[in-house]
Amino acid sequence: MNDVPVSVGELFQGARLTPTQRRIAHCLVEHSGKAAYLSAAEVADLAGVSQPSVTRFAVALGYEGYPALRRELRHMTGGPSGNGKRNAMQLALQAEAEHLGRLTDQLERLDDVQKAADLLIRSRPLPVLGLRSAAPLAAYFGYFAAKVHPDVRVIANGGTEMLDQLDQARAAGAGAMLALVLPRYPRESLDAIGEAKKAGFRVVAITDSALSPVAHEVDVVLPAAVGTQLVFDLHTGPMAMAMVLLQAMCDAAPESVQQRLEEFEAAVARRHIFVA
């Protein structure tokens, strides 16, 4: 794999691109030594996409067309990097480290995290919504939350089944819901939040930005950026935020949490669930 200047990767950092456009970005970063001198058709062939996709990619980045983007790439690859050289994979992980650094600074004040934790730990049951790309994160959070909360209900499927689960949670006494909503923001997730608010739920959302479509629809928003330098998003930041929130929930009700943890450990030992 070729070494490439950090500045080329930074050209695409933070841009909201489609998966096809990310393939193009990844290709340009990985092959920047020659890509800056190729035509749009040649870049399309190298990336395995159509030529119009390359043009739309350049426009999505704010350029008039691919020739303008190519001039910028030539300028970047022609000068010194100043920060050493990184390949495309390293650039993606470097961006994730920077996201976590910003999240660390953001958590200097825990007001919103603590407010969210207080709402969620008291809800019986606790519905956790996560559709499409957010479904694995909802399951991950739900698995651990069930160790300290008596009734966690993960909602990972849309449609009428999702609405049924919201109705059942409300009938059982739920007062709050955690919604995990990640790009590209499923419409059904926004619909579910609207239904939850109509039913009287307080809603906490973990999403990628304070400018997310759900940010103004919920009671507490906990933003955590996603990585955008690979073909598909990296969710390191939202996962970290989810576990920070779970820790805050444990801190909000230490006695009941400790009791449930002890009961869980006793059951683990009795059933020989783990080998270590």
Phi, psi torsion values for 4, nearest 5 degrees: -135, 155
Contact 105, 224 (CB under 8 A): no
Task: Count the residues in the chain.
Answer: 276
8 A C-beta contact, residue 235 and residue 224: no
Determine the pLDDT at residue 117: 98
CB-CB neighbours of 202 under 10 Å:
20
User: What are the distances in angstroms from CA 270 to CA 234, 258, 260, 264, 274?
Assistant: 38, 18, 15, 10, 10
User: pLDDT digit string (tens) for 129-154?
Assistant: 999 999 999 999 999 999 999 999 99
The pLDDT value given to residue 77: 66
pLDDT of residue 253: 95
pLDDT tens digits along 214-267: 999 999 999 999 998 888 999 999 999 999 999 999 999 999 999 999 999 999
Position 2 scores a pLDDT of 45
pLDDT at site 7: 54
Query: Which of 132, 137, 242, 118 minimizes the C-alpha distance to 176?
Result: 118
Helix (H, G, I), strand (E, B) or coil at 206: strand
Q: Which residues of the chain have pLDDT under 70?
A: 1-9, 33, 77-85
In this prediction the pTM is: 0.75
Residue 4 identity: V
Res 112: pLDDT: 98
